[in-house]
Structures are given as C-alpha cells and as structure tokens.
Amino acid sequence: MSKKFWGLLLVIACLAAYFFIPKMYATVTQKSVGSMPYELEENENISYATFAGGCFWCMEPPFEKLPGVYEVVSGYTSGNVENPAYNEVTTGETGHVEAVIVSYNPDVINYETLLDVFWRQVDPTDDKGQFVDRGTPYQSGIFYHSEDQKQLAEKSREALSASGRFDQPIVTEIKAAKTFYIAEDYHQDYYLKNPVRYDFYRDNSGRDDFLDKAWGDDRNITPQVEDDGTTLLHLSKDELRSVLTAEQYYVTQEDGTEEPFNNEYWDFEGEGIYVDLISGEALFSSTDKYDSGTGWPSFTKPLVPENIVELEDRSFFSVRTEIRSKLGNAHLGHVFDDGPEPTGLRYCMNSAALRFVPKEQLEAEGYGEFLELFE
C-alpha cells in the first residue's frame, strides 16, 4: 500500500482518538484518586438544587446561563461509597449517578423555574440511562433539599405526565439529596475547557435530536426572574435598553468596548469597590486598581473570584479570555497576563459595566463585609 494511504489512515485514527471518545480519553489520561464532598453554605441568599440527567457535561450549560444562578458543579450523588472516583462511579458499583448541584439566589430565580429547565434537558421516560450513556450512573433524577422542594418536584412531574408530551411513563425518580461529591477538576465546565470535544460528543449523543423532537418551539424557556427591588436582573433586554445608557447597553449586552481614556473610571482614584452594573455583584476593589496605561480601569485581581466567569473569546482573529459577571451575565472586559505583581494579571474592564460604591457607603448598600479592606 502507498505511503499516501497509510498517511491518510493515520490521520483518520488520530481524529478518531481526539473526537470520538472524549470520555474515554479523560478516563485514561486523568484518573482520579477520589472526590471531595461539596459543602453547603448556610445563607438565606443561597439555595441548592441537585439534578441528574446523564452526562454531567451536558447538564452544566443550561443552568449556568440562568440569571440568579451562582454556580453549577458536576459531581456524584446518591451512592454508598465515600469520596468516589470517576472510574469507580462509571462501573455502576458505587450506586452514584452523575449529577450537578446548582447554587442559586431564591430572591432572583425560583425552584419551579429550575425544574422547568431540568425537564427540557432529559428523557424522563428512560430508566436505563440517558441517550448514548447507558447504565445506572446515567439515570435521571431530582434530589430535593427540603420538603418544599420535594412537593414542587412531585407536582412538576405530575404535570409533565398529565401533559401527554411523552407516550411512555415518566420514570425520573425524586429522592432526598445525599452527600454530593465534587467530580474531578477536568470535568468542571468541560464545555468551556474543551469546546471541540464537547460539541462533537453532544452532537453525536442523540440528546439534542430527542429534545428538539419532544419540545419543539417550547424547548427554550424564558426564566421567571423575581424582582428583588435592588438589581436590574428582572428587566428584559428591551427594558434594559430603556434604562441603561446607549454605551452601557452596548458594552454589557452586546459585548462592546468603550473608548479608552474617555470613560468614567480609567483614572478614578476613589476608595471603595466596583460592582456589576446589572446585578450589584461585588467585582473589584480600589485596593487592587492600578494605572495600566491602556485607558481602561485595570485591576490585578477580582475582589470575589466566584462572581466572575472566564470565557474563551476568538473574535478579532485572536484568542482572548473574556470576563463576564456570574449573576448579571454582563460583558465586563478581558484579562491578560501582562499585569504587575503579585498576580501578573491585568483585568482590563469597561467603566460602562461597573458601578462604584465609595467606602463610606459600603455598609448602607449591603457591602459592609468589605470595609476591612480600607481600615
């Protein structure tokens, strides 16, 4: 056979190894010695919801995009082994299922909305797994954290069953939440870290074909967001357009960039913190602000890392890291690795996406926990 044939065969083999078996790739190359329990925070502004819907890679994106959601973590639950490893869970011998735990603000988004989103991600009639992933570790399930959640979940399941949307019985189980174990780091936000492998896996899993057929135009819903009276989270895009300035809307909602050296905070020196214009999330502190010479407000680090999301940005023929607010989902700017010590990072933000809260007003506006920064 010709060298050209063998060369082509080698290329095909390499592509197959890269695309067709992403989960096997992760299993073989990144085996784990175990997982760690997820610690629930006792806070009136935080509630938790746990869902299993097959591959947890596919269950993160729909919830992470919702307003009012703080974070979505992939992991294992409902099993009988402590600190299970991925390689153990997939055998089905530990009794765990792949799941996600969603931490959210109940004053912004309610549990019923999360349930509506959940049903639109799964095949609730399949008790042998989900789509291409078969076996007990991939069964669908709702794990309630309170009696109220249990009643709402049962009511939601009954309504779905009565709707006649599915020809077969609804078999998704509703159980009390048990210890949730955080999956290995390479599983977290897999769709962001490995977009090519994720897209190929998802496109060939059968999930989207099934959901499109089952739900049609009703597959994507507009979340019912509560108005807590202190943020702009409850406003629609059209309403935001009327409330924000043209530049604020362009930057936060259309991923725009304001003019350098001609914005509110690029050379501002006041003491206080910078919060997200839409959600009020604490983002940066004046104690970490510095003059980068770029004409935009720049910081060496975020004030609350959990309040920002990093995304790959391939616009303008380059690869950059975009920074968005977690709760507000507003475009803030980008982060670069040319900053000063101690981090070596430059969080280059748009003034139009920020609101400054002076240190004298921190207590009154609910940011009293940051006063110690200025003592």
Is 55 known to be catalytic? yes
The terminus-to-terminus CA distance of the chain in angstroms comes to 77
Task: Identify the CA nearest to 304 among candidates 330, 282, 334.
Answer: 282
Is residue 351 within 8 A of residue 263, CB to CB? The reply is yes
Catalytic choice (26, 49, 52, 55)? 55
DSSP string covering 53-71, please?
ES-HHHHHHHHHTSTTEEE
Based on the number of CB atoms within 10 Å of its own CB, is 68 exposed (0-12), middle (13-18) or buried (19 or more)? buried
Q: How far apart are CA 42 and CA 188, in angstroms?
A: 23
Question: How far apart (Å, rounded) are the C-alpha atoms in residues 138 and 195?
Answer: 22
Q: One of 348, 349, 352, 362 is an active-site residue; which one?
A: 348
Q: Which residue has the tokens 């095949």?
A: 123
CA angle 118, 123, 128 (to 5 degrees): 120
Determine the 3-state secondary structure of 273 from DSSP.
strand
> Is residue 366 a contact partner of residue 281, using CB atoms and an 8 Å limit?
no
Question: Which residue from 23, 48, 152, 29 is spatially nearest to 101, judged by alpha carbons?
Answer: 48
CB burial string 90-127: b at 16+ within 10 A, e below: beeebbbbbbbbbbbbebbbbbebbbbbbbbbbbbbbe
Cα separation, 117 vs 114, in Å, equals 5
Q: CA-to-CA distance for 100 and 103, rounded, in angstroms?
A: 10
Distance CA 180, CA 37 (A): 6
Bridge-based pairing of strands 346-349 and 331-336 is antiparallel
Token pair listed for 375: 């003592």
In the beta sheet, which residues pair with residue 93?
none
**Which residues are tagged catalytic?**
55, 348
